[in-house]
Amino acid sequence: MRLTKIFLTVAAAVATASPAFADNMQGITDKTIKIGNMGPFSGEAAVFNPLNYGPEAYLRYINAQGGVHGRKFETVFADDACNEAKGIAAARKLIYEDKVFMLMGVPCSGVAMAIKPMLEKEGIPWVGPAANPKLTRPTVPAMFHVTYTGIESGQAMAGFAMSNPALKKIAIVEHSNDWAHGYCNPASEYIKSHGGEVLERIAMERGSTDGTTQALKIKSIGAQAVMGCLYQQELIILLRDMQKFGVTAPVIGALGADFDQTVQQVNNPAAVRDKFFQPYQFKAKIGTPALKEFEDMFTKYLTKDELPKAGPPTNFYYFGIPVAIVTVEAFKRAGASPSREKWIAAMESIKDFDTGVLADKINLSKDNHVGVQRMFAVGLDKDGKQTIYSSWGKAQN
């Protein structure tokens, strides 16, 4: 009798423990896959929300085709307002109350870093455009970058500038936060290792409404080029004030700004023509036939409120969509009975995958969760024509 009781107790313990070893199915039903789409849908940082709407357009497109293995995507939106405290609260709701399978989006690096401990603890997958390299370096089991981190972008910024032999003395203007340092530290290292000189790192904080001090400093130290690790509003101010004070050094901006929107809002061709450049993430110029299917996708599947108030979808819509393209590809590979573990393994199996959007193909593995590296540059030439460059003065074919 005693042995029978012991056997029953052990059997009960094993039965109780067994679900812990089962594949995690949170957010998945027979008919749906629940995705948390989190980003700055309010406040000044709402300029980044096309990075959320691009992926959503693709999920709606996939749903219109019948979904993946009979399941359609159900999106739960959450506003973090690019604020760490709000982001933590929003992520907690998505994970513990809405019980989403994964988080998609979170463009603001500060918010992404703030919620990273929660994601790691719970093993919740994340794929998003937040650029801080620390999100996926060192590798985190369920977190993936399929767009460019600050390391790749920072090196691209510096590499493009220094492909012009005349640009050796370079100033850096940056926010004093992890996002900016994630771009400008790699840029600074690249400049120094390739025979250039970083003359000075000049602070320009978030919320700045005047760039006079920075513009005059750039002029006084004789900088031949500027790395601008700034969000969009501050970058616009810097470009305007550099023009105002006759500072002719070209500015290579980080990806915290939408190129088209920045040019429009500077609203002065002389301040940007052949003077303002950014790393370019895409295989072709926006508006050309190579990317037309994505423009059509945005205009068909997004609502009026989710699209620009005027004009066609801009850079950030395209930069966001690979997040969903790769996520969906992993669900296709995970099979008809997906789980968190199968999806992660599927992500790590992706090799030489062409999103149809990005300049580089996606390559992931168990030890590498950063999928892309190669980039171009974008700017307006002397005639004001938007041009994609492979190096300084050399248009990409």
The three-state (H, E, C) secondary structure of 76-105, written as one string:
EEEECCCCHHHHHHHHHHHHHHCCCCEEEE
Is 129 in the same domain as 202?
Answer: no
Is 245 in the same domain as 387?
Answer: yes
Is 381 in the same domain as 238?
Answer: yes
Q: Is 120 among the domain residues?
A: yes
Q: Is 1 among the domain residues?
A: no
Q: Is 341 among the domain residues?
A: yes
Query: Which residues constitute the domain of residue 171?
Result: 151-280+376-395
How high is the pLDDT of residue 141? 96
Q: Is 9 among the domain residues?
A: no
Is 144 in the same domain as 155?
Answer: no
pTM of the model as a whole? 0.88
**Sign (positive/negative) of CA torsion 264, 265, 271, 277?**
negative
Is 233 in the same domain as 193?
Answer: yes
Is 202 in the same domain as 215?
Answer: yes
Each residue's pLDDT tens digit, 85-105: 999 999 999 999 999 999 999
Is 114 in the same domain as 212?
Answer: no
Is 194 in the same domain as 102?
Answer: no
**Sign (positive/negative) of CA torsion 379, 384, 386, 387?**
negative
* Beta carbons of 272 and 377 less than 8 angstroms apart: no
List of E strands, the chain? 32-39, 72-79, 102-105, 126-127, 143-144, 169-174, 197-203, 225-229, 251-253, 276-280, 376-380, 386-391, 394-395
Is 300 in the same domain as 328?
Answer: yes
How high is the pLDDT of residue 15? 38
How high is the pLDDT of residue 178? 87
Is 264 in the same domain as 216?
Answer: yes
How high is the pLDDT of residue 19? 35
Each residue's pLDDT tens digit, 305-334: 999 999 999 999 999 999 999 999 999 999
Is 135 in the same domain as 224?
Answer: no
Q: Is 80 among the domain residues?
A: yes
Split into its structural domains, the chain has a count of 2
How high is the pLDDT of residue 211? 98
Q: Is 338 among the domain residues?
A: yes
* Beta carbons of 204 and 242 less than 8 angstroms apart: no
Q: Is 179 among the domain residues?
A: yes
Q: Is 371 among the domain residues?
A: no
Which stretches of the chain score pLDDT less than 50?
Answer: 1-21
Is 266 in the same domain as 391?
Answer: yes
What CATH number is associated with residue 138? 3.40.50.2300
